[in-house]
Each structure stands twice: as C-alpha cells, then as structure tokens.
A = this chain, B = another copy of it.
Amino acid sequence: MIIERAAGLFNSLGYYRASLSDLMQATGLEKGGIYNHFSSKDELAIAAFEHAVSLAGARLLSTVKKEEDSFKKLIAFIEGFESLATEPVLPGGCPLLNCAIENDDGNPLLREKVRVALVKLLAFAEDLIGSAQEKGELNDSVIAKELAVFIISSLEGAMMLSRLYQSSDSMKVVAENLKSHLQSLKS
C-alpha cells in the first residue's frame, strides 16, 4: 500500500519534485513510519518504480497471453501498450518514459533501474518478432532487434503526446500505424 501510493506520486510528480511531505500525505504515514520501512527516499523510489513497472508489465503480458499465434501476440503487445494510455495502471503516464527522461541526467540508481527495465521490454518485443519470423508469419528480412526499437520508440513517443494533450488520440493513431506497418511485413 505504501509502495503503491508512492508509485503513483513519483510517477506523477517525478522523483526530485515529490517531497517527503508529499509522500507522507500520499501514504498517510508520518516520517518515522516511512523510514521504518525504507532507509531512504532512494530506496522507496526504487521500490515504487519497480512496482509501477511490474503493473505495466503484467498488463502487457496478460494481453499478449490471450493470443495463440505469434503474429497476433505482436499485435496484442501493441494493443496492450495502447491500453496503458487509455486505461492507465497508475497515475502519471508511463513509468519507464517518466523515469528515463528525469534520470538520464539524474539519479544514477534510478537510471540503472530504468535501463534494465527498458532492455527487458525491448527483449520481450524482439522475442515476439523472432517467434513470428520462426513461424513464417513475418518476413525474414526484418531485423527483430531494430523493429523492436522502432515499435517501443513510437509507442513511448505516443504516450508523451497523449499525456501532454490529455487525449489518447495520438496513441490510437500510432498503434494503428504500427499495426499497418506490421501487416506490410507479413511473409
């Protein structure tokens, strides 16, 4: 419960902006209560970030798992990501994008965590692409790793636009464009 509430707060305000008093208000705990569970703001921020990522990851995984075919799993991955804009798992947008932008020049512990999480996300997409190729559902000339970078970049950029304009239109447009692009790569 502490982690869940802290995750929404950090994801909305950012790591630097979320103060101890913001955290006390969000969790309903006194300072001592927070430091009883976490030795520092960094430790709480890392636990909160990992919780946020696991929520988003679980959404993606459950969407992908509903499909049997490899190509359909890849389409479901895009739709699962789209659903994170239309029905967010926590306030504040994509935790990977938020944490990456804030900490590329910021907290080295959080930067390392977001690097690892994004590598996992890219590998997950790459595996889906590779499986679709193995099943003969996607053109062999596609470089799985590069297509994964293209898909994740487009979806993260769409998340930025959707959050900024408080409308999921950009995410819908990007998801549709990606799906057409994948259709054009079918073998």
Contacts and interface: CB of A to CB of B under 8 A. Distances in A.
A170 interface: yes
A150 B164 contact: no
A183 B80 CA distance: 29
Interface residues of A, number: 42
Tell me how many chains of this kind the complex includes.
2
Interface stretch (A32-40, A46-54, A57-65, A91-99): A91-99
Interface of A: 12-14, 16-17, 92-93, 97-98, 100-102, 104-106, 111, 114-115, 118, 146-147, 149-150, 152-158, 160-161, 163-165, 170, 173-174, 176-177, 181, 184
- 10 tightest A-B contacts by CB? A153-B157, A157-B157, A156-B157, A150-B177, A101-B101, A154-B154, A153-B158, A104-B163, A16-B17, A12-B105
